[in-house]
Structure 1
Amino acid sequence: MSPSLCTKTSSLRYAASAITLLLAGCVSGPDHAPPQMPLPAKFQEGGSKSNGDVVAAQWWTAYRDKQLDGLVAHGLSENLDVLQALERINSASANVTVAGAGGLPSLDVGASHTVYGEKGSQRTTIGTKNTTGGEASLSWLLDFFGQYRRSKESAIASLGAAYATADDAKLTFLKDLVSSYVDARYYQQRIALSQANLKSRQETYELTQLQLKAGAASRLDVVQAEGLVQSTKADIPGLEQSFTVSAHHIALLLGMPAASLMNELQRSTGQPVFRGDIRAGIPADLIRNRPDIRKAERDLAAAVADIGAAEAQLYPSISLSGSISPSWVKSSGASGGTMTSWSFGPTLNLPIFDGGKLRANVDIEKSDAKAQYLAWKEAVLNGVEEVENALSAVRRDTQTLAPLRRQVQTAEESLALSTTSYKDGASSLLDVLDAQRSVSDAQASLAATVQEVAKDYVDLYVAIGAGYLTEQGQNAPERMAKSD
């Protein structure tokens, strides 16, 4: 081999290596780094122990209500909002393919067959010609500055955001379903209490009528007793309507017709009471566990990648294109022949003057990235606030349960004493009616607080991002990210 030929071969190798390095390593724009912000070591009313990964913690089982467990299990796979969010993952996944396809060679192949001829006045065909041809065209934009690689990076980040959105939809469903179930059981409890109070007040009314006949009570006493009976009767339809609305909403959350669960839910199991521990973890846990924070971080990653895609358009682009078109032509009365045309060559696109459009696009993407960082920061702070509020509510509302239970006991004892005293003629009917109102109010307050405490735990565990994934699906987003 001659020295000049060796030199040319070596130069080609170096050129090929340089092009490979350009294609593989020259990427415009900044690389995404996980955002950081200072957080307190613990919540104000929480502990200093991390929760770890709680996304699969089935916290609702601490209510020890089998019917609720069944509703949650059914709803996680049937809720329409969740299913819509899951479907959007498929769209985002397809966008990853679309975004990456621009940086790959494209090959199009086509074929055609044409018959051409002329007819004379005596219905004779003159000069018939058959042409059969094909065409193959290849084009490849050399992504020297990473426009398509950044676009694919942005699409992958958006896919991660779609996964997080689906997780957030599941968490929203859990909060809505369990809260609605707690409300339904509360209204059932209020209905049961009202019916029991109605029975007691009806008995007092009948006793007052007997005493009126015996001359031991006045007409005013009878009217007052009857008024309390009618007032209690008037409360029950409204409570029944509220229960019906809650039951219908639960059916909607499960993707079922509104009345399909009525018979099942009408079998009351009592008000749900949370019998688990308070597990708030630490603020740093929220960044890993809350899907809304993960979505904000993925949106930020996509915005940062878009900066690189916009910057790449500031630089020259080179594309390679070529085509080959073989054809076979046969005329009537003559033998056929083939002809092949081909072309190949690079195309250089150099942006010189665009009125500042491309640079403005970079500025837009940079501004969007800054806005996404602020959105991420807001999501983190919002998560911390929700946990702090839920912790405070759990502790404060729980402290009121014991006094309210004692208040119900004292009100019931006062009613029993005043009723006995009234029967003996030692006190007035007004004392009995006041005692009955006190019992009713105390029972209603206790039921409302039991309801509120049960929902406080819902707020707490939703705020820390717990329970939206099953064990099987827990690592799906992580597997997806690693495969990409």
Structure 2
Amino acid sequence: MKSVRSLRPVRRQFMLKSFLLTLPLLGLGACMVGPKYHALKPWSPPHFDTHARENGQTSPLSVVTELPFDDAWWKSFHDPVLASLEERVAKQNLAFELATANLAQSRAQMMIAGAERFPALSAQGTYARTQNSTKQLEEIIHRIGKKSPGLVSPGDVKVPVLNQWQYSIDATYEVDLWGRVARQYQAAKALMQMSEEERRSVLIAQQADMAHDYLQLRGDQKRVRVLNASHKTLSDLLSLTQSRYKSGLVTELDVDSVKSRLHRVEAQQAQLSQIVAQEKNAIAFLLGAPPRSLDQELEQGQNTPVVPPFVPAGLPSELVHRRPDIREAEANLRQSVAELGEATADFYPKITINADFGFQTLSFKDLGLWGARAWNVGPSISLPIFQGGRLVGQLNLKKAAQKSAAISYRQTVLRAWHEVDNAMQSYHDEQNKREGLNNAVKDSQRSLDLALSQYRSGLSTYLDVLNAQIQTQDAQMDLATSDAAVATNLARLYNALGGGWQKVLPDEGALLKEAQNNQSQAVAYKSTRKMVR
């Protein structure tokens, strides 16, 4: 019989052979099956169609230019209240907080998926006090005694109570031969990027809603002032008509007609007051505040913000990199490609390396001795033979999902350009409409002043004054609505251009790339300085 010392070289050779056999398997992890993702080049026009020229002449209105895009676009209105509200959206909006929580879940899922790329190590320790069956041992000895009589008598055997101590370190690692684990991590990373872009989409949507509600509020507050002015004009007209009625110059019908018109204006005031209150509450809700908590703040500076003469929109090629919905659609396409590669890898063998090393002994005092060591190492291979069509169905499902993601990406890009073009057209046309309404207000106001002057002199009837007042009020109300529409259309254009998130939620990948470029430039600068010295 060989001694224990003579067995040690054999064990060492076995351990070395096991390690050498598994080492090539580790190097095969670079092979990846399935399709590879290729960056897409979506369509974009060479220039924005700004609608700034009509009949060969440049429009004097506010026009869209390809100047560098300003991420804090709400500052172009030069309204401090709007700027304050917009800056609080990212801190107080509940929908944005919910999107942030969803992003945290996606990042945790990516961490879970990425953990499979590394060996799993665990340590365990056990203690067991065991009493085995004496009868079983007697039966074994009895059967041995038939072949070797007189060796041991079954009646002399008694199994003692055993104390077993053991602790070990276990390791498990899947050799990613076909890129299944890598594809799984790529899919989880793309899913996290989708959640990140969705969070950015929520932010710019809430910013756009804030601007829309605020600008609509300012427009309705201006309409309230128009109704207040109309109410004063009608009240003065009623006093004048009543005075003329007492003098016998007009009939009671004239007085009742003016009263009817005055009551109608009062009804409009009540309806508009309700709308203004709802708009204030909508703004408070966007900031996660209770109803009427912002009423005092929103009463300050009730003028509709004026749009700038030039609107910087950036270059058309920047749109696909700025709009979060396009970036999300691209991340969805990357995820579908990664999942297709993962489904393809499921057809190939799966190799896992298992290893553990520890100590086993029946006595606690011997637990740390080298002679109590125990270990094993070796690969395990599993190959799918028959799955009832599950793998084929899964592969077909991922192929269809990848095709659907590609179509969705094209659709998202096309929809984005339609939104931009429609927003630019609406912004341009609404300005032309406002110019016409502005002229109509001036003309109707002159007509009202002339009708009032003639009525006081007895040269016209009250019907002429009422008609002029109605036309003036309608024109002023339409102008106030158009002023708000021009501003809201500009906010809609900024939303279509995908602005409002870069400073609040910067692109970490772009920042990292910029930092690496700056670091490389610094190293090159230092090297140049050394060469000059």
Superposition TM-score tier, normalisation by shorter sequence:
0.7 to 0.9
Q: Relative to 1, partners in 2 of residues 1:252 and 1:61: Cα closer, same or farther, differing over 3 Å?
A: same
Is 1:476 the counterpart of 2:508? The answer is yes
How far off its partner does 1:129 sit?
A: 5.6
Q: Equivalent residue for 2:143?
A: none
Q: Equivalent residue for 2:280?
A: 247
Q: Relative to 1, partners in 2 of residues 1:479 and 1:44: Cα closer, same or farther, differing over 3 Å?
A: closer
8 Å contact from structure 1 (residues 82, 170) kept in 2: yes
8 Å contact from structure 1 (residues 280, 460) kept in 2: no
Question: In the alignment, residue 61 of structure 1 is paired with which amino acid?
Answer: K
Describe the SS at the equivalent of 1:437.
helix
Q: Equivalent residue for 1:30?
A: 35
Distance 2:501 2:80 in 1: 18
How far off its partner does 1:109 sit?
A: 1.3
Q: Equivalent residue for 1:467?
A: 500
Question: In the alignment, residue 224 of structure 1 is paired with which amino acid?
Answer: S
Is 1:194 the counterpart of 2:215? The answer is no
Deviations 1:228-248 (A, max 9, x none): 110011111111111111111
Distance 1:57 1:282 in 2: 14
1:345 to 363, 368, 378: 378
How many residues align structurally?
A: 461
Distance 1:52 1:361 in 2: 49
Q: Relative to 1, partners in 2 of residues 1:46 and 1:87: Cα closer, same or farther, differing over 3 Å?
A: farther
Q: How does 1:43-442 map to 2 (within 5 A)?
A: 43-45=48-50, 51=66, 54=69, 57-114=71-128, 130-324=163-357, 326-330=359-363, 341-442=374-475
Distance 1:393 1:96 in 2: 42
**Higher deviation after alignment, 429-438 or 37-46:** 37-46
Distance 1:37 1:213 in 2: 77
Describe the SS at the equivalent of 1:343.
strand
How far off its partner does 1:114 sit?
A: 4.2
Question: In the alignment, residue 382 of structure 1 is paired with which amino acid?
Answer: R
Q: Equivalent residue for 2:25?
A: 19
Distance 1:209 1:44 in 2: 58
Distance 2:31 2:276 in 1: 63
8 Å contact from structure 1 (residues 325, 340) kept in 2: yes
Q: Relative to 1, partners in 2 of residues 1:46 and 1:373: Cα closer, same or farther, differing over 3 Å?
A: farther
8 Å contact from structure 2 (residues 67, 313) kept in 1: no
Structure 1: gaps (5+ residues): 1-10, 118-126
8 Å contact from structure 2 (residues 77, 306) kept in 1: yes
Question: In the alignment, residue 435 of structure 1 is paired with which amino acid?
Answer: A
TM-score by length of 2: 0.80
Deviations 1:223-276 (A, max 9, x none): 100001100111111111111111111111112112210111123431122124
How far off its partner does 1:291 sit?
A: 0.8
Distance 2:22 2:130 in 1: 48
8 Å contact from structure 2 (residues 51, 425) kept in 1: no
8 Å contact from structure 1 (residues 280, 387) kept in 2: no
Distance 1:322 1:16 in 2: 11
Q: Relative to 1, partners in 2 of residues 1:207 and 1:482: Cα closer, same or farther, differing over 3 Å?
A: closer
How far off its partner does 1:277 sit?
A: 1.4
Distance 1:409 1:164 in 2: 48
Describe the SS at the equivalent of 1:364.
helix
Describe the SS at the equivalent of 2:312.
coil
Q: Relative to 1, partners in 2 of residues 1:479 and 1:317: Cα closer, same or farther, differing over 3 Å?
A: farther
Distance 1:359 1:52 in 2: 52
8 Å contact from structure 1 (residues 110, 135) kept in 2: yes
Q: Equivalent residue for 2:46?
A: 41
8 Å contact from structure 2 (residues 448, 469) kept in 1: yes
Question: In the alignment, residue 75 of structure 1 is paired with which amino acid?
Answer: V
Question: In the alignment, residue 27 of structure 1 is paired with which amino acid?
Answer: M
8 Å contact from structure 1 (residues 188, 268) kept in 2: no
Q: Relative to 1, partners in 2 of residues 1:282 and 1:66: Cα closer, same or farther, differing over 3 Å?
A: same
Distance 1:132 1:13 in 2: 28
Distance 2:378 2:441 in 1: 91
Describe the SS at the equivalent of 1:425.
coil
How far off its partner does 1:323 sit?
A: 3.0
Task: Using the aligned pairs only, state the percent identity.
Answer: 26
Q: Relative to 1, partners in 2 of residues 1:50 and 1:301: Cα closer, same or farther, differing over 3 Å?
A: farther
How far off its partner does 1:341 sit?
A: 4.6
Distance 2:44 2:73 in 1: 25
Q: Relative to 1, partners in 2 of residues 1:144 and 1:343: Cα closer, same or farther, differing over 3 Å?
A: same
Q: Relative to 1, partners in 2 of residues 1:480 and 1:100: Cα closer, same or farther, differing over 3 Å?
A: farther
Q: Relative to 1, partners in 2 of residues 1:186 and 1:474: Cα closer, same or farther, differing over 3 Å?
A: same
Distance 1:298 1:104 in 2: 25
Structure 2: gaps (5+ residues): 1-16, 53-63, 132-159, 516-533
Describe the SS at the equivalent of 1:278.
strand
Q: Relative to 1, partners in 2 of residues 1:40 and 1:153: Cα closer, same or farther, differing over 3 Å?
A: same
8 Å contact from structure 1 (residues 136, 323) kept in 2: yes
Q: CA RMSD in A?
A: 2.9
TM-score by length of 1: 0.88
Question: In the alignment, residue 71 of structure 1 is paired with which amino acid?
Answer: L
8 Å contact from structure 2 (residues 67, 315) kept in 1: no
Describe the SS at the equivalent of 1:326.
strand
Q: Equivalent residue for 1:120?
A: none
How far off its partner does 1:38 sit?
A: 3.5
8 Å contact from structure 1 (residues 53, 289) kept in 2: no
How far off its partner does 1:480 sit?
A: 6.5
Question: In the alignment, residue 268 of structure 2 is paired with which amino acid?
Answer: D
Q: Equivalent residue for 1:3?
A: none
Question: In the alignment, residue 184 of structure 2 is paired with which amino acid?
Answer: S
8 Å contact from structure 2 (residues 172, 352) kept in 1: yes
**Higher deviation after alignment, 302-311 or 358-367:** 358-367
Question: In the alignment, residue 227 of structure 2 is paired with which amino acid?
Answer: S
Describe the SS at the equivalent of 1:400.
helix
Question: In the alignment, residue 35 of structure 1 is paired with which amino acid?
Answer: L
How far off its partner does 1:176 sit?
A: 0.2
Describe the SS at the equivalent of 2:248.
coil
Distance 1:475 1:147 in 2: 28
Distance 2:67 2:466 in 1: 55
How far off its partner does 1:139 sit?
A: 1.4
Q: Equivalent residue for 2:11?
A: none
Question: In the alignment, residue 165 of structure 1 is paired with which amino acid?
Answer: E
Q: Which has the larger radius of gyration?
A: 2
Question: In the alignment, residue 377 of structure 2 is paired with which amino acid?
Answer: F
